[in-house]
Structure 1
Amino acid sequence: MNPLAPVSLHPGWFFMAGCPFVQQLAEIPTLKQLFATLGIAGPLWQASFDPLWQIAVVPLSLCLLGFGLVGLARAFGTGFGQAGALTWPILSFLAGFLWESLQADAALKNRLPLPLEGERLVLRGFVDGLVRHEQFPPSASFPLRVQACVQATSWCPVGSTVLVKINASKFSAAVSTRASHNNGAPPASASAIASIRAGSVWHMDLRLKALHAQRNPGGSDLERLAIQSDWVARGAAPESHIEKLEDIAMHPLAWVHRAREQLRLSLMASFLAGDPDRSGRFSGRDPDNQSATSPHLARAMAVIEALVIGSGEGLDPEQWDAFNRTGVGHLLSISGSHVTMFAGFSAFFGVGLLRLVGASNLLSMRWHTMAVPRVLFASFGAFAYTLIAGFGLPAQRTCAMVLVTGLMSLSGRRHAPQAVLSCAGVIVYLIDPWAVVSAGFWLSFAAVAALVLSGQAMERPINPEQQRSLVAWPSIKSSLHEAFRGQWAASVAMIPLSVLFFAQISWVAPFANALAIPWIGFVITPASLLLAFVASISSSLAALPLYYLSVITEKSLTLLDGMAQWTWISSHSALPPEGIIAIAVIACVMLIWPLAPWPRWAVALLLLPLMFWPDDRPAEGELRILFFDVGQGSAVLVQSPKFSLLYDSGPAWSLDARSDGRNAGFQPILPVLRSRGIESLDLMVLSHADLDHTGGALSLQRHLRIGQILSGSPNTEPSLGGLDVKPCHRGVEIIGPNDQSRPARDGVEQDRGLSRETRLRFLHPSPPSAPQAESGLQPVIEAPTLLRKVSRNNRNAHSCVLLIEHQGRSLLLPGDLPALQEASVLLHEPAEPGRALDVLLLGHHGAANSSAAIWLDYWKPAAAIVQSGYQNRYGHPQRETLNRLCERTISLRRTDLEGAIEIHIGVDGEIRWQNERNRVKRYWTRLIQPSSACQREPANQSKEFNSND
């Protein structure tokens, strides 16, 4: 075999190339744009069609014409010469483009229209998945597949999914009203929540909200996930009109999800029956109740549940991060390897059963081989496991690959592995047109492609000496060699993709997988599936084996935890340009290529730029400030060439969420820092102890080196627990080492990383020994409403106020400082500031009791930024605050509508603005024009606009 022989590309690859081409567009092209691209003018230029046909007519016509010409040519035995070789690739590309465009247009039409946001809609549908229970506050979350709209409406998402959340108290009140008319005995809150089961049919009066994602550099994209999963809106149920209609819907998916739920309950019941510490304490339908499980085995049971039914909700993000650092995360969730393994087991045991009952000879005579039963059993096993896993997209992809591979193997012809892979890819795209934008697609296909490419080395001739050595151990040596080669090829292929999607490289992944794949893939996973089947028949029969399996699983996880603690097992890299990633991909192909004539050590040098790409830091003399989009919270990154400061760390959903990864520090702040190569922070300032400002600090401290943490609140606050916090106060100033303009005095610190053009100065709170002057300032405040929350919000009153100055520009970060303390700050400032403020972060997310008139008049900011949650329940930014900005012609920027906002201050002092929603635009991105502060409609209402406006 010639290792450098050209590889003919299957038309399926060109079909798949047309799909990602559409995914990179900022908007779906119209007919007019397509005609302009193709150079077609005349009457068609002014044609007006439905948008769907605007997309479809040109590619559809070309495809029909091309396929017709190819058919005629083949029918008459003629060809097109050299041009004929380009016909199928071009037509395949256009077909892929057409398919993706049609799917995208239909998905965009199905989303919640902006005028209906906040309105109530009465829907009938069934619970299309497992119900997720939360204890604090008690609530239930689930996807509702819409079957009908009860009332007449201009938009009805029949067949699509609405993500619903019901609070336990509200639900109980509604059900209790109906129960009082029936039995007179209102159900308890727990039983009310438990009555929401997978597959059950409900009548709900929902208040709808768009799926508007937080957008940050390098972060996840919920809007893309929503359009991929056919989620059209969020829904919240009010206290009335929530009624259960049927116990289970007459829909295949409803029965599948009910079976999964029952399997989940059986697993938990069997485990608790076998747990000597908790035996007999299972309380019914609340598998998410962790108090019913031994704490030291709760994680092991969550892993077993994830392997059986594909529900990884029991594992928090911090645990997933530890698994990914060791490179075994794909083994602890249902992925392609699990579906493939189950298909192989099904074929093995199915054919074995046929031979056991004596049917193999009869079938062999009928089909001349046992290949047909083997493929049927493998396909059935893959499809069954896909259903058990919830029919998720990753499992669907692998099931399609197993089916395509089996059918092509039965065709009687030898197909190239590239053709099999491309056909499987086409099937995947037909099932999931948005697969190209998911990391799982690229990771799974790259791993399979690497195994296929490296496997070509087996076709080389074997000399007599090699043959004699193979005879020495005929199976062990060849098996070990094949396994090592496959693991090495897959690990090499993952290097550029890991940097692209996760900004990290796991150095121990090959070794960890060499141990974990046989153990988890061939011991724990089959045992979990077998015991789940036994538990569904008899809980007591599976109790003891399941308990011991959980003990063994926990020991394995403890070993992985120990590996994850090693600091050298993984490294994070700044995201390099596309060209560097392309070079790395080519280098990986050359490394994997069998019998390559080039020296592999020289090719490996091409990976060095990818692995050691320099940090994405500002140039010398520049400053970069990033206002994260963290919802209803605050987080600001200040970065100079050698200094990094984080002001606030975003929200956490509860005190426990500070440590388990369900906070803004773990997602999205940490991925952004990693994508920029930031492994340490010189200073972290937590303005005060409210959880929407300190929620992510503990997660960041676990994953980053932090030089110093300052806060205006004492470290005795629960939200600051586990942090080495020092007080910040007025008079503390941080300057560069070469800045001689400030006299040496107490409170002035020099930092070698800070440039001489940058100064950080704290304006509040007062030092502990300083006299308090706030009591005489009340007459200065004009509006009494500004003081309405000061008395009961002492945390806000102690917010650290930080003034940043660079190259003659200034920026003020006030935390949640109330108006009374704003006036106190001004008492210690000069009568007039040296110059007007350039950027002001609105205090308390734009609440009316902050950013008082006297505060705005003193600083005279040119622009204001507000960090708040989209359509938040507090109405931030509030109308009173917007009126003050309007009266002073202060421009307003909003992270809830624009995504993360970044400011670049250049060497010349020029300020450049950039927001994430306009920086990375895709056709599914919701682009919303922020309302002017002077408009009279509510502040959280906005107009949608076209990206070209």
Structure 2
Amino acid sequence: MRSFILGFVTGVSCLQTAATLPSTKLMAACTAAAALLLLASAQAIRHPAARIATIATAGLLAGFTWAALLAQTTLAPSLAPRDEGRDLHVVGIVETLPYRFDQGVRFDFRVERSLDAGVRVPPHVALSWYAGRHGARQAVGDVQPGQRWRLTVRLQRPHGNANPGGFDYEAWLLEQGVRATGYVRAGDDNTQLKAFVASPGMLVERVRAALRARIQDALAGRTYAGVIVALVIGDQRGIDQADWQVFNRTGIGHLISISGLHITMIAGLAAWAVSALWRRSFFTGARLPLLLPAQKAAALAGAIVALLYVLLAGFGVPAQRTLYMLSVVALALWMGRLAAVSHVLCTALGVVVLLDPWAVLWPGFWLSFGAVAVILFAGHGRIGPPPAGPRGALVLAGRTQWAVTAGLVPLTLLLFGQVSVVSPLANAVAIPVVSFVVTPLALAGSLTPGPPGDWLLLLAHWVVEMLAWLLRLMAGWPGAVWRAPAPQGWVFVLGLGGTLWMLMPRGWPHRWAGAVALLPMLMQVPDHPQAGTFRVTAFDVGQGMALLVETEGHRLIYDTGPAYAPGSDAGGRVILPYLRMRGIAALDGIVVSHGDTDHTGGALALLEGVDAGWLASSLPADHPVVRVARHHVRCAAGQHWAWDGIAFDMLHPTSASYADAALKTNARSCTLRISNGHRTLLLAGDIEAAQEAALLGRARDRLRADVLLAPHHGSGTSSTLAFLQAVRPEVAIFQVGYRNRYHHPKPEVYARYGTLGAERLRTDDAGALVVDFGTSVVWRGYRDEHARYWYAR
């Protein structure tokens, strides 16, 4: 059984790396082959190793086919391209807990019917309802789970930013079954039709909404109210990005939700209480143990409480894993069978992947099951018997925490490019505080009405504040985080083997050699271009600009992308994850071309997340980005520097332009020319026709470039014919958002580049672009190199 499950998970994982889905004939062949292999293993194969291999292969084929079948079914309902961006009229039900923010609310909507003839709307869509959009103001509806609404919406097919090391939004939408996203249009047709449509799922969501409202009312204006909400109902969207950075640097992010430890604790308390009351029922004359053994009653109570708590958690992977493990144990107890821990873990693994094949795409899946597997591996005599008494419990907890920290080092480096060095100490404090103090107080306060409940919630919040203060201190320690590039395959396997060697039982020969095997992984350094060449990564940040320029020994960020929402921006969501994946902890410089938010939105997060030598910009001295920079320099034409034989020249703006208060921010965009003597890149920010003309008059001989970052994203106010004729780009890069509201690049501008023979690359189509400049120019797109079947091109 275990061999089949492990093979099944492997097959599912293989499907999730496929660029296209297999044909129906191939799926049928895989199913038949799996059945024949299982039959052969049961009747013809007697050698244990061959039998295990046969069963695992059958599981692999079954997993591959199952994941493909679910993918086909989920992808089938889709929005026609002709219906993107049109006003559509739908009736449906709010099916998830809404997320409210300053400008409006977001929620998932189950479409019951479309009111437009001939229009097919997918059954599940994700909507935003803004108070103001495109200059229009509207009242935002008080949407609650279970309500039926008639809405006028504009939709588009699923599309997200595609970057190395970044979050795959399109895969996440597919996992949720959401096949279109959009927003509610202003109008009188938006009407609530029914206050509540009863169903078990809607009832759960209503309870979650009520508990969240209870917490938010009691902790209004409190910094860590979002943490309390996450611990009670698993909704992490209210936690600030800066707090997540602290939690991740200290390695306690797994605690800031309804974790497996919390579920086990609550289920265990319920089981203990039921067992105690059940055994004492003789005093009431009920004599319940004669009807059902107390042990079975306790197991049933624990499983039911675990299920209820997991439903509150929104059914995340760690919560699912714990629920299935507890359920298997309870079932084994009811049936009078002794369940081995490896069988329990594999059963939970199989159920999670069977119900959600896309779970294997997320770090939480691997970390969750990996942590339990490490504990089981290290627990069977490998971490040594603890002393007796309370001291023994502390020693065992410390050894277990050390085993988990060490055991997950290879996986953490592979997934995040960093390891929290202070994690063992931070978890030693945070685990008991969060699990045994904050979580019980938060649950009790949420369920207790009136002032007593408010006091409990305030006490829980105060404890979180004290814990966060301590964690911030730890996160600020020098060397709190060890960074290294995501390891290559052989380096990862070597490090994983070394970790297992270190966790072997006492007396195992040369356990120290395991640490030596980890060194190649820990001592990796970021790769870099060869001497005399440079590389540019144009990130897919949506409607904005952000590029990384690398020479043999230096790195520069040009613009930092947009701000997406309060606490969410391209710096934190795109650039920093990429830098961590590459093991890059410092930048030599940052250039912020001008003050528009689609260029400055990620600057603060970037400056906080990496060590930057200097900042060059056209921003005013009182701008928040300038105030936090270590050293700021105004962009000015004539500035020049060289890194590793690569020349950097600032062509615009002129120093005199800063005295003209009438100029728009676009007019002062820092325009940077980069050349290795063979090939040249021109980064033009958002300059417009007037600035292009000024450059033609002032620096025409410096404008020739092989690659041009299209000025102002291909706006109709830029890329004049005279300017393009002077630049004569072979390649033009358009950093634009999918179906952006500015309609960039403008069709006539895009055609102008094509007429001049330039190869046109768009980040909304190709994803992040990597361009290498040597004696020639070579480029590659992330969506081509990392093709997946759910990418709609």
TM-score strictly above 0.5: yes
After TM superposition, list the pairs within 5 Å mapping 1:110-189 onto structure 2: 110-135=77-102, 138-153=103-118, 155-158=120-123, 161-168=124-131
Deviations 1:666-704 (A, max 9, x none): 221111122222221112111111111112112111122
Q: Are the equivalent residues in 2 in contact too, given 1:202–1:244 (CA < 8 A)?
A: yes
Indicate whether 1:56 and 2:56 are aligned.
Answer: no
Shift of 1:841: 0.8
Q: 1:459 to 1:826 in 2, by over 3 A?
A: closer
Letter in 1 for 2:478: T
Using the alignment, how far apart are the partners of 1:843 and 1:384 within structure 2? 54
Name the structure 1 match of 2:140.
193
Within-5 A mapping of 1:753-764: 754-756=643-645, 758-764=646-652
Indicate yes or no: 2:614 matched with 1:702.
no
Give the AA of the match of 1:675.
Answer: M
Following superposition of structure 1 onto structure 2, how do residues 241-260 of structure 1 map, counting pairs within 5 Å? 241-260=189-208
Deviation by residue 1:770-826 (Cα, 9 ceiling, x = unmatched): 999xxxxxxxxxxxxxxxxxx976111111111111141111111111111111112
Counterpart of 1:632 (choices 543, 567, 578) is: 543
Q: TM-score, normalised by structure 2?
A: 0.94
CA change 1:693–1:84 in 2 (3 A) is closer
Distance 1:678 1:880, change over 3 A: same
Q: CA-to-partner distance for each residue in 1:495-532, whole Å, 9 max, x for gaps?
A: 11211111111011111111111111111101111111
TM (norm. structure 1) is 0.79
Structure 1: which amino acid aligns with 2:264?
T
SS in 2 for 1:141: strand
Query: For the structure 1 residues 357 and 412, does the alpha-carbon distance in structure 2 shift closer, same or farther, using more than 3 Å as the test?
Result: closer
Q: State the partner residue of 1:24.
A: 17
Q: Does 1:570 align with 2:535?
A: no
Indicate whether 1:339 and 2:270 are aligned: no
Aligned partner of 1:822 in structure 2 is: 692
**Distance in 2 separating the partners of 1:567 and 1:625:** 30
One-letter code aligned to 1:490: V
| Residue of structure 2 equivalent to 1:211 | 158
How far off its partner does 1:363 sit? Answer: 4.6
Give the distance between the partners of 2:516 and 2:653, measured in 1 at CA. 53
| d(CA) in 2 for partners of 1:267, 1:881 | 52
1:875 aligns with 743
- Rate the CA distance shift 1:903–1:154 in 2: closer, same or farther, 3 A: same
Judge conservation of contact 1:623–1:904 (CA < 8 Å) in 2. Answer: yes
1:66 is displaced (CA, Å) by 4.5
Aligned to 2:403: 489
Contact 2:442 2:456 in 1 (8 A): no
1:673 aligns with 2:605: no
Pick closer, same or farther for the CA change 1:341–1:152 going to 2, 3 Å. Answer: farther
Q: Which amino acid aligns with 1:673?
A: L
Of 4, 15, 22, the residue aligned with 1:11 is 4
Query: Residues 409 and 442 (structure 1 numbering): CA distance in 2 closer, same or farther, change over 3 Å?
Result: farther
Task: Name the CA distance, whole Å, in 2 between partners of 1:904 and 1:895.
Answer: 16
Matches of 2:66 and 2:728, distance apart in 1: 54
Distance 1:111 1:493, change over 3 A: farther
Cα distance change of structure 1 residues 676 and 637 upon mapping to structure 2, 3 Å threshold: same
Deviations 1:369-420 (A, max 9, x none): 5331222111111101011123344423322222123223444333332222
Matched, 1:734 2:641: yes
The alpha carbon displacement at 1:893 in A equals 0.7
CA shift in 2, pair 1:359/1:857, >3 Å: farther
| Bigger radius of gyration among the two | 1
Partner of 2:330: 406
Q: What secondary structure sits across from 1:511 in the alignment? A: helix
Contact 2:636 2:654 in 1 (8 A): yes
Amino acid at match of 2:370: A
User: 1:215·1:899 contact (CA, 8 Å) conserved in 2?
Assistant: yes
Out of 803, 806, 810, the position equivalent to 2:673 is 803
Q: Which amino acid aligns with 2:16?
A: Q
Alignment partners' CA distance in 2, 1:613 and 1:359: 68
Q: Distance in 1 between matches of 2:423 and 2:542?
A: 35
Question: Once the 2 structures are TM-superposed, how far is the Cα of residue 258 of structure 1 from its aligned partner?
Answer: 0.9
Q: Summarize the alignment of residues 302-341 of structure 1 with structure 2, pairs less than 5 Å apart.
A: 302-341=226-265
Deviation for aligned residue 1:194: 5.5
Aligned equivalents of 1:675, 1:147: Cα separation in 2: 42
**Residues 269, 539 of structure 1: 8 Å contact kept:** no
State the Cα distance separating 1:715 from its structure 2 match.
Answer: 2.1
Provide the residue aligned with 2:69 in structure 1.
102
Q: CA shift at 1:476, angstroms?
A: 2.1
Q: Within the alignment, does 1:903 sit opposite 2:771 as a pair?
A: yes
List aligned pairs for 1:491-506, cutoff 5 A. 491-506=405-420
- Mapped pair 1:889 → 2:748: no
The Cα of 1:80 is off from its aligned counterpart by 5.3
The answer as to whether partners of 1:695 and 1:719 remain within 8 angstroms in 2 is no
* Contact 1:299–1:314 (8 Å) recurs in 2: no
Shift, 1:720, TM fit:
4.3
Counterparts of 1:652-667 in structure 2, within 5 Å, are 652-653=563-564, 657=566, 660=567, 662-667=568-573
Change in Cα spacing, 1:151 to 1:68, as seen in structure 2 (3 Å) is: farther
Aligned counterpart, 1:425:
349
Q: Counterpart of 1:725?
A: 632
**Residue 186 of structure 1 corresponds to which residue in structure 2?**
none
SS in structure 2 opposite 1:199? coil
Residue in 1 that maps onto 2:787: 921
Residue 548 of structure 2 aligns to which amino acid in structure 1? L
Is the alpha carbon distance of 1:64 and 1:153 closer, same or farther for their aligned partners in structure 2, counting shifts above 3 Å? Answer: farther
Deviation digits for residues 42-100 of structure 1 (CA, Å, limit 9, x no counterpart) = xxxxxxxxxxx4353212223444555667x4xxxx86566655443332222222211
Question: Which amino acid is 1:821 matched to?
Answer: Q
8 A contact 1:270–1:540 mirrored in 2 = no
How far, CA to CA, are the matches of 1:172 and 1:862 in structure 2?
A: 38
Relative to structure 2, which stretch is displaced further, 202-211 or 539-548?
539-548
1:269 is aligned with what amino acid?
Answer: D
Secondary structure of the structure 1 residue equivalent to 2:699 = coil
**Are residue 265 (structure 1) and residue 213 (structure 2) matched?**
yes
Residues 171 and 726 from structure 1, CA distance in 2 versus in 1: closer, same or farther, beyond 3 angstroms? closer
**Correspondence list, 1:456-605, <5 A:** 456-457=380-381, 474-534=388-448, 538-595=449-506, 597-605=508-516
1:256 CA drift (Å): 0.9
Q: What amino acid does structure 1 have at the position aligned with 2:324? A: A
Are the structure 2 counterparts of residues 911 and 344 from structure 1 closer, same or farther at C-alpha, using a change threshold of 3 Å? Answer: same
What is the one-letter code of the residue matched to 2:147? Answer: S
CA contact (8 A) 1:689 1:719 kept: no
- The answer (yes or no) to whether the contact 1:256–1:390 under 8 Å persists in 2 is no
* 1:852 corresponds to which of 720, 725, 748: 720
- Structure 1 distance, partners of 2:333, 2:659, is 85
CA distance in 2, matches of 1:815, 1:127: 41
Alpha carbons of structure 1 residues 355 and 171: separation in structure 2 relative to 1, 3 Å:
farther
CA contact (8 A) 1:679 1:704 kept: yes
RMSD after superposition: 2.7
> CA separation in 2, counterparts of 1:453 and 1:123?
53
Change (3 A) 1:170 1:621: closer
- Closer/same/farther in 2, CA of residues 405 and 438 from structure 1, 3 Å limit: farther
| Closer, same or farther: CA 568–359 of 1 in aligned 2, 3 Å | farther
CA separation in 1, counterparts of 2:282 and 2:785?
66
1:776 aligns with none
* Structure 2 unaligned blocks of 5 or more: none
1:50 maps to which residue? none
**Aligned 8 A contact 1:207 1:238 in 2:** yes
Segments of 5+ residues of structure 1 without an aligned counterpart are: 1-7, 31-52, 175-188, 272-292, 736-753, 773-790, 929-949
Q: Distance in 2 between matches of 1:330 and 1:477?
A: 26
